[in-house]
Amino acid sequence: MNKITIHEVGPRDGLQVEKQTVPTDLKIKWIQQLISSGIDIIQVGSFVHPEKVPQMADTDRLFAHFSQSENRPERTRLSGLVLNERGLDRGLACGVEFFCMGVSASDTYSRKNTGMSTSEATDRIIDIAKRATEAAKAVQVSVQNAFGCSYEGAIPESSVMRIIDRYLNAGLKRISLADTAGHAHPQRVERLFTAAMKLDLSVEYACHFHETYGLGLANCYAAMEAGVTSIECSFAGLGGSPSAKVKSGNVCTEDVVHLLHKMELRTDVSLDSIVAIAREAETFFGRELPGILHKIPVA
């Protein structure tokens, strides 16, 4: 567990469902604060149509800003989400070095989210991932709804393994399993990640959990126990998928960092800095946000 990577997805997954648009200058401020906290990877935004997701309309500008030599982080990596070929082209044009992309193990969710079946979407994502790899960019592919779907219910583990196998056959070795609907529980998390790792021991696995039913942190711990080396989380517990039937926030970054600190892991990451961002976000949106640590004194 000493090599746990923290992938902050708040600027993208955290903000994408918020109706109140966060000004670009404030996003830059929050991202800079996250960089200063010692976070490993920050997902700056997604390359989607601005009319469909207005909150992400400034993604190109954000990457252009942080690609400038005076603003470029020394250690923190910046990731961007792409859904299609046009998104990849935009990302390449504004300097993205780390691309994230994925498909849903739920055919119903896939059709609602992309207009394609899971099989069709997998073909497309693999082609896009290969293009990004050929451009010498880092790539992480994901399986969404890996632990269940709010439309279809339980997702057969064989469906998840089939997508992972296709990724591996395409030479993609950085994979995230995402609990898009929040249906995961620790026993299933450990079982699925353990089975996945047996396919190829060289793969780097990430986990992405939501707090829909309050099991997010427990699932993170189960994933780490199984050998997962990267946790995706969002400051203040913001977030949720626009295509999910029940929208709930991500596992909260400050709560994850607190857990790691208690385990004497990643003590190099500043908990106070992330709590401060979460409190700023709560003030900006004018409502109580999920998560625990930003609401109480940090012990």
**DSSP result, 109-144:** HHHHHHSS-HHHHHHHHHHHHHHHHHTT-EEEEEEE
Length in residues, the chain = 299
Q: How far is CA 137 from the centre of its chain?
A: 18
The proportion of the chain whose per-residue pLDDT surpasses 90, expressed as a percent, equals 87
The 10s digit of each residue's pLDDT in 239-297 is: 876 655 555 689 999 999 999 999 999 999 999 999 999 999 999 999 999 888 888 87
pLDDT tens for each residue of 93-146: 999 999 999 999 999 999 988 889 999 999 999 999 999 999 999 999 999 999
Structural domains for the chain? 5-295 (3.20.20.70)
User: For the chain, percent helix, then strand, then coil, each to nearest 5?
Assistant: 45, 15, 40
Instruction: Tokens for 183, please give them.
Output: 């249906």
pLDDT tens for 22-34 read 999 999 999 999 9
Rounded Cα distance, 180 and 210, in Å: 7
The DSSP element (H or E) to which 152 belongs, if any, is: none
235: CB partners within 8 A, 6+ apart: 8, 10, 14, 30, 34, 252, 253, 254, 274, 277, 278, 281
User: What's the mean per-residue pLDDT of the chain?
Assistant: 94
